[in-house]
Chains A and B, each alone.
Chain A
Amino acid sequence: NAGVTQTPKFQVLKTGQSMTLQCAQDMNHEYMSWYRQDPGMGLRLIHYSVGAGITDQGEVPNGYNVSRSTTEDFPLRLLSAAPSQTSVYFCATVGGRDYGYTFGSGTRLTVV
């Protein structure tokens, strides 16, 4: 039972490049989300989805795009990477409002 799988684990990008962070879950959860973790700050919500075909913005959505074509997958796209997007990114899913989140293993992204 894999839970939440994130790829890649590490990535270095040049400013202006684009890339997609992948997130897949096998828990059949409707809710999926992307957070970023920066030093000295709490996890901040980027985008989330409450089901296939439905996405919405979180606290820090600028520079990121998402789509949800299936229940299992929720990719995060960086359209034109900037150094300010250097961070650790976590995908998370939850089965209901009274349950704890299950997090992926994270992607450490550096933009130079």
Chain B
Amino acid sequence: ILNVEQSPQSLHVQEGDSTNFTCSFPSSNFYALHWYRWETAKSPEALFVMTLNGDEKKKGRISATLNTKEGYSYLYIKGSQPEDSATYLCAFKGPNSGYALNFGKGTSLLVTP
């Protein structure tokens, strides 16, 4: 079982604030790092799949960076909106784990108007 840590556990920001959270994972035997957005009463939806050190991906106001040498990824949300309220999950995949993902516990984000 590979240890994937996410911080903070929860976050409460005001509409318009920019925010970021961290995912830490084993720096050895890396294959891919996934980010998912999980709204209450819905199913997780894939945001990004990152495989290369230094990768930076962007989808609208959300972006993510990847540092495989030190074992961390950051997720950034610029100008948070109430509809960004969700739990953000990261998941690690090693080269020998086939398709299986090891998920972190998630960061719960609440954006209030």
- Which A residues are closer than 8 A to B by beta carbons? 31, 33, 35, 40-45, 48, 50, 58-59, 90, 94, 97-106
B103 touches A43 (CB 8 A): yes
A58 touches B100 (CB 8 A): yes
Which 6 interchain pairs have the tightest Cβ spacing?
A: A100-B46, A42-B103, A103-B43, A43-B103, A31-B99, A42-B105
Distance between Cα atoms of A58 and B98 in the complex (Å) = 11
Main secondary structure of the interface of A (DSSP, over half): loop
Distance between Cα atoms of A42 and B9 in the complex (Å) = 12
Indicate whether B49 reaches chain A with its CB closer than 8 angstroms: yes
B101 touches A101 (CB 8 A): yes
Indicate whether B36 reaches chain A with its CB closer than 8 angstroms: yes
Interface size class of B (residues with CB under 8 A): 20 to 34
Chain B residue numbers with a CB within 8 Å of A97 are 31-32, 93, 98-99
Determine which of A40, A44, A48, A59 lies in contact with B99 in the assembled complex, contact meaning CB atoms within 8 Å. A48
Determine which of A40, A44, A100 lies in contact with B49 in the assembled complex, contact meaning CB atoms within 8 Å. A100
B49 touches A98 (CB 8 A): yes
Chain B residue numbers with a CB within 8 Å of A50 are 98-99
Contacts A97-B99, A102-B46, A106-B43; A59 near B93 (Cβ below 8 A): no
Q: How far apart are A106's CB and chain B's nearest CB, in angstroms?
A: 6
Distance between Cα atoms of A103 and B45 in the complex (Å) = 7
Q: How far apart are A20's CB and chain B's nearest CB, in angstroms?
A: 20
B105 touches A90 (CB 8 A): no
Chain A residue numbers with a CB within 8 Å of B103 are 35, 42-44
Chain A residue numbers with a CB within 8 Å of B51 are 98
Distance between Cα atoms of A87 and B7 in the complex (Å) = 24
**CB proximity to A under 8 Å, residues B77-113:** 89, 91, 93, 98-106
Distance between Cα atoms of A24 and B36 in the complex (Å) = 21
Q: How far apart are B108's CB and chain A's nearest CB, in angstroms?
A: 11
